[in-house]
Chains A and B, each alone.
Chain A
Amino acid sequence: EPEVTQTPSHQVTQMGQEVILRCVPISNHLYFYWYRQILGQKVEFLVSFYNNEISEKSEIFDDQFSVERPDGSNFTLKIRSTKLEDSAMYFCASSWTANQPQHFGDGTRLSIL
């Protein structure tokens, strides 16, 4: 069964550094999402992406965040200058259409020191 893959599984970075989290969505999916989950808290929506542009973003997704689909397969989340509070599990998800179930990758655990 096709799956969403995320790399790296764990990223440790110094505060103020840039990080790029990578995702390969399921190949025929058209809608892409990033979510985050701070340890012990609920999953939070960050951004949705369709037709090569951001569709919607949450208040969390400020100017420090950006997303890109540099080629036909990868979908990346960049945090320009990380803060301690960015430490979380980041999940990428994709779906064929908007009203179909979203499939999640295994996540990247981001630890900011």
Chain B
Amino acid sequence: GQNIDQPTEMTATEGAIVQINCTYQTSGFNGLFWYQQHAGEAPTFLSYNVLDGLEEKGRFSSFLSRSKGYSYLLLKELQMKDSASYLCAVPLGSNYQLIWGAGTKLIIKP
């Protein structure tokens, strides 16, 4: 079966840095996506890592280690609007359908 694990909830302070981890054990691997989901809304794309290493995109960075089955999302200079759930997902199958982790709810405190 497929297994994607994330912490359920994390709390951080406005202006700080937070790292959200994701570990996966899947029957195949075509990279790993990170999505942001505000409560009651659709997931929105943040990043896609296919190769090992760190990819930086503004305040958000994502890291992948295929040998360890591990990824993390790094959020810098946290803002209140970053309060959301962060979902990691592995695309599988011929059409790269997404298999999702349960998401990490990030709470930002002033």
Q: Which residues of A contact B (CB under 8 A)?
A: 31, 33, 35, 41-45, 48, 50, 55-56, 91, 95, 98-99, 101-107
Residues of B within 8 A of A (CB): 30-31, 33, 41-45, 48, 87, 89, 91, 93-103
Measured CB to CB, the closest approach of chain B to A111, in angstroms, equals 14
With a cutoff of 8 Å between Cβ atoms, the chain B residues found around residue A105 in the complex are: 42
Chain A: which residue is nearest B30 at the CB level? A99
Asked if B91 and A104 make an inter-chain contact with CB atoms under 8 angstroms apart, the answer reads: no
Contact partners of A43 in chain B: CB under 8 A = 43, 87, 89, 98, 100, 103
Chain A residues with Cβ under 8 A from B97's Cβ? 33, 45, 48, 56
Q: A103-B45, A104-B43, A106-B41 are in contact. Are A98 and B94 (CB under 8 A)?
A: yes
Contacts A/B (CB < 8 Å), 19 sampled: A31-B96, A33-B98, A35-B98, A41-B102, A42-B101, A43-B43, A43-B89, A45-B98, A48-B95, A55-B94, A55-B95, A56-B94, A56-B95, A56-B97, A95-B96, A98-B91, A101-B45, A102-B98, A107-B42
B6 to chain A, nearest CB (A): 9
CB-CB nearest in chain A for B95: A48
Which one, A35, A55, A103, A106, contacts B93 given CB within 8 A?
A: A55
A4 nearest CB neighbor, chain B only: B42
Instruction: List the B residue with the shortest CB-CB distance to A102.
Output: B98
| Contact present for B95 and A98 (CB under 8 Å) | yes
Q: Is the CB of A99 within 8 A of B94?
A: no
Chain A residues, Cβ within 8 Å of B101 = 42
Instruction: Looking at the assembled complex, report how far the CB atom of A3 sits from the nearest CB atom of chain B, in whole angstroms.
Output: 10
Task: Given A35-B98, A42-B103, A101-B33, verify A48-B41 contact (CB < 8 Å).
Answer: no
